[in-house]
Structure 1
Amino acid sequence: MLFVLLFGVTHAVAAPVLPQNAEREAEAQIKLDTLRAEIATLSAARAELAAQRNEGVAALREIETRVSGSARRLRELEAGIDTQNRLLAEREAERIVLQKTLGHSRETLANLLRSVYMIGRGESLKALLARDRISDSSRVLAYYRYLQRDRLNRVQALLAELSDLLAIEQVIATTKSTLAAEQQKEHVQSAQLAGDRLQRQAVLAEFDAKLKEGGTRLAALGRDEQDLLRLLEELRDIFADIPKQLDAAQPFATLKGRLRRPHAGSVRVAFGQGIATGRLSEGWLLDAEAGDEVHAVAPGRVAFADWLKGFGLLLILDHGDGYMSLYAQNESLLKDVGDWVAAGDVISTVGASGGAAQTGLYIELRYQGRPLDPKPWFAR
């Protein structure tokens, strides 16, 4: 409309003008200059808004990627702490067994030590000389030597158990120290994650305000969809070895009606329904809590694992034959591009990245880039 007005005004100025119309010409020129100034102002404002929007997207991507890293490191720390706790429990059980064994053997140990001491002082010789029959001397001496060796062996065995106990107690002390350090790291990482999440909320609020101010939310969603379609086109059969590697598995098409769900949450928004962002859903939005595990629906290979505007932290699995599954709004991505996964493997954790107002898992199934209704694909 502005163009038509500008075109009409320009033609009016360009036409021959009679002297008596000089005043009208001046007025038209003023209007033209004003219009041009308004157009320049509007263009500058739109350019500034676009720059701000791009800055907002970059800031949102940066903070959500950082949240993903924090969540992944926290998960790794928790797994390490679980391992240390199991090790500690095993060692504590071993210590209890050894303590009971040694407790029962303390008196035996004391008696054995006294016996060995007495034999060392010549008890065997006294016993030998006290015999009435010198012909029995060899037999008696051999008996005492055997008795001495047996007692010494038993003493050494008990001392070895005591040494084992001391070694286990040292391992327990070291494990407790390591565990304390890991728990401190976990505390710091948890605080870092909480701070990152708060910062994300602030960046997200600022980002949404800029989008609403410019009235460009719907247009932005359209661009997001086009970005995804271009990405899917680029990723289609990106790994030439996928069909070969999946020969042992069933073709994805044959799994229709038998796919395992990536999360047990109920369907909040179904295929084709309107979603809060203003467009129609091309998949499912599932109810899920932040940090919940997300599972692969079928065997495949990670074709994409990164942040994408409008979808947040996105992971795409290529299942071969043109089939892909998409998992969006994640808080952290646990697999990297090129990784092979089996059905049910944990591939990410639930979040609200990409500008989502609340946590949840958004999943799509696609064939040759076209969205498929997930309902007939998943087992009931």
Structure 2
Amino acid sequence: MRTHSALLVLALSVPVLAAAAQDTRGTEKKLQQIKRELKGVAQERRQIETQRGSASQQLRAADEQVGQTDRSLQQTQSKIQTEKSSLSQLRVRQARMRDTLKGARVELAMLLRAADRQGPAGPLKSLLARDRVEDTQRLLTYHAYLEKARAARIRDLTAKLAELDRVEAEIAHRTGELTTAQRAQAAQLAQLQRDREQRAVLVAQLDAKYKDRAAREQALGRDAKALEQLLAKLRIAAAK
């Protein structure tokens, strides 16, 4: 009778044990799958973290370049304002020189007209018309003075023309240099700002990916822990 009862209990427990064993194997298989995925997600998260760190460093460098170029551009613009003031002063000098030059031309024209009115034989006729030696000497001195004054005015006129040309060339040169520098720095700043925006977008994308992988890693970790606890219970139940 006891043997029959034992056999009956054994027969009834076989399906239960088989089901428990099947549940254990299924749980172990699922746990291994989760662990493999967890390992892959953790590795991906670390890679993204490295990429995010590098991208953040490049973004900081881009910020520094933008700031430095912006400061250089502001300095150039400030220098342009200073040079504009200098150019205004140069133009005042230029206007004064034009007035002086105009007066010198008028005086020179008067000297030339006076010489033309006398003609080539003018001084000689005057000498022959004089009776006294003193008058002749004064006339020669006067004509010599006129010739010297004429030559001096011509030299002065030439010097003023050269100075005027130099001032005009200086104005054009300064204006051209400053304009070129300003355009180059503005173009460089615009390009750096575009690069900085692209790096900022990349950092934001990597940050979002990192948070997603980190959240997935935590979720898989919780699932793995729950399966390990379930597997332990199944093994205990199977051992009874």
| TM-score, normalised via structure 2 length | 0.64
| SS of structure 1 residue aligned to 2:170 | helix
| SS of structure 2 residue aligned to 1:171 | helix
- Pairwise CA RMSD of aligned residues? 3.3
Deviation at 1:164, TM superposition (A): 0.9
Q: Is the 8 A contact 2:73 2:186 kept in 1?
A: no
Deviation at 1:83, TM superposition (A): 3.4
Q: Is the 8 A contact 1:71 1:193 kept in 2?
A: no
| Structure 1 Cα separation of the partners of residues 87 and 179 of structure 2 | 12
Equivalent residue letter for 1:28: T
Deviation at 1:124, TM superposition (A): 3.7
Q: How does 1:175-186 map to 2 (within 5 A)?
A: 175-186=174-185
Q: How does 1:112-261 map to 2 (within 5 A)?
A: 112-115=111-114, 121=120, 123-214=122-213
Q: Is the 8 A contact 1:116 1:148 kept in 2?
A: no
Deviation at 1:165, TM superposition (A): 0.8
The 1:112/1:139 distance shift into structure 2, 3 A limit, reads closer
Q: Is the 8 A contact 2:58 2:199 kept in 1?
A: no
| Structure 2 Cα separation of the partners of residues 56 and 199 of structure 1 | 14
Deviation at 1:143, TM superposition (A): 3.1
| Structure 2 Cα separation of the partners of residues 59 and 116 of structure 1 | 85
Q: Deviations over 1:158-216 (max 9, x none)?
A: 32112211222122223333333223323422421332343244224213323432458
The 1:170/1:115 distance shift into structure 2, 3 A limit, reads farther
Deviation at 1:152, TM superposition (A): 1.9
Equivalent residue letter for 2:30: T
| Structure 1 Cα separation of the partners of residues 116 and 60 of structure 2 | 74
Count of aligned pairs:
197
Match of 1:249 in 2: none
| SS of structure 2 residue aligned to 1:66 | helix
1:66 aligns with 2:92: no
| Structure 2 Cα separation of the partners of residues 53 and 120 of structure 1 | 99
Point out the structure with the larger helix share. Answer: 2
Point out the structure with the larger strand share. Answer: 1
Q: Deviations over 1:286-306 (max 9, x none)?
A: xxxxxxxxxxxxxxxxxxxxx
Q: Which runs of 5+ in 2 are unaligned?
A: 1-15, 216-240
Q: How does 1:1-380 map to 2 (within 5 A)?
A: 24-25=20-21, 27-80=23-76, 82-84=78-80, 86=83, 88-115=87-114, 121=120, 123-214=122-213
Deviation at 1:123, TM superposition (A): 4.1
The 1:139/1:184 distance shift into structure 2, 3 A limit, reads same
| Structure 2 Cα separation of the partners of residues 118 and 200 of structure 1 | 84
- The structure 1 segments of at least 4 consecutive aligned residues displaced by more than 4 Å after TM superposition are 20-26, 115-120
Relative contact order (C-alpha < 8 Å, sep 6+): which is higher? 2
The 1:22/1:83 distance shift into structure 2, 3 A limit, reads same
| Structure 2 Cα separation of the partners of residues 153 and 119 of structure 1 | 20
Greater Rg over alpha carbons, structure: 2
Equivalent residue letter for 1:213: D
| TM-score, normalised via structure 1 length | 0.44
Equivalent residue letter for 2:156: A
Deviation at 1:47, TM superposition (A): 1.6
